[in-house]
Amino acid sequence: MLLAGAGGADWLSAAKRVAERLGVELGAYQFGVDLLDAAGADAPELGPGGTLLVRPDGFVA
């Protein structure tokens, strides 16, 4: 799963292209758009244009 900051729309587009190319499922969500009241939107590690990748085992990269 990919979680993008409020200014991370480009990450969502890139994730969609890569997932289609590789033939894999990848959920991609943007804080402030898809995740309106979600905790974590103000995480300092994320930033407005940043992204977090959460592996299936729950590890955050």
Helix, strand or coil, per DSSP, at residue 9: helix
Give the model's pLDDT for residue 38.
Answer: 66
State how beta strands 51-53 and 28-30 pair.
Answer: unpaired
Tens digits of per-residue pLDDT, 3-61? Answer: 998 888 999 999 999 999 999 999 999 988 888 776 666 666 777 888 888 888 988 87
CB 10 within 8 A of CB 18: no
CB 27 within 8 A of CB 1: yes
DSSP tally for the chain: helices H, then strands E: 1, 3
